[in-house]
């Protein structure tokens, strides 16, 4: 379609959105060979079909976003829309499980550090832990 429009539509269209209402109206008034006009019309129908399918997907994603508290919480971050928030959740997985795992690992590390400290303290005795008197 780009080649057809580039070859036949010089100068550039006087509209900002060639595929919007004004752009399509302008496009329909252009003098194109019959086969190219048919190609453009077929591609416009394909564009309309894809736009409709994207609208369905967008509605389904919006329903998903509104029903997921993690996605809703992420969308409170400025600049983060529903699609980005859903993508983050899909990439990261279960935030609550991940947070629990991180808390468990931190608790285990703290416990190991405490055990090492106590073992060191027991070897040196209480006076050594406080330094020379």
For residue 112, give both structure tokens: 């190991």
Mean per-residue pLDDT, 56-61: 89
Q: Do 131 and 81 share a domain, yes or no?
A: no
pLDDT band at 54 (very low <50, low <70, confident <90, very high): very high
Domain count, the chain: 2
* Better-scored residue on pLDDT, 18 or 95: 18
Q: Do 41 and 7 share a domain, yes or no?
A: yes
Residues 67/73, Cβ–Cβ less than 8 Å: no
Q: Do 61 and 37 share a domain, yes or no?
A: yes
Q: Do 128 and 100 share a domain, yes or no?
A: yes
Q: Do 120 and 86 share a domain, yes or no?
A: no
Q: Do 63 and 12 share a domain, yes or no?
A: yes
pLDDT band at 34 (very low <50, low <70, confident <90, very high): very high
**Quick one: pLDDT at residue 35?**
92
Q: Do 25 and 86 share a domain, yes or no?
A: yes
17/97 Cα distance (integer angstroms):
46
7-24 pLDDT per residue, tens: 666 667 788 888 889 989
Q: Do 87 and 117 share a domain, yes or no?
A: no
Q: Which domain holds residue 127?
A: 96-133
Quickly count: other Cβ atoms within 10 Å of residue 88's Cβ.
15
In 1-133, which ranges are continuous DSSP H helix? 2-8, 21-28, 34-67, 69-74, 82-92, 95-124, 126-130
Q: Do 53 and 112 share a domain, yes or no?
A: no
Which letter does DSSP use for residue 86 in this model? H
47/24 Cα distance (integer angstroms):
12
């Amino acid at each position: 379609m780009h080649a057809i429009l580039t070859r036949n539509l010089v100068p550039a269209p006087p509209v900002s959105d060639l595929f919007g209402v004004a752009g399509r109206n302008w496009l329909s008034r252009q003098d194109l060979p019959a086969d190219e006009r048919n190609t453009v019309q077929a591609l416009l129908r394909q564009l309309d079909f894809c736009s409709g399918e994207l609208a369905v997907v967008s509605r389904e994603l919006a329903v998903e976003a509104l029903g997921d508290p993690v996605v809703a919480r992420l969308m409170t971050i400025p600049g983060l829309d529903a699609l980005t928030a859903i993508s983050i959740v899909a990439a990261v997985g279960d935030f609550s499980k991940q947070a629990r795992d991180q808390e468990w690992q931190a608790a285990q590390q703290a416990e190991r550090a405490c055990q090492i400290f106590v073992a060191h303290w027991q070897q040196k005795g209480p006076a050594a832990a406080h330094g020379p008197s």
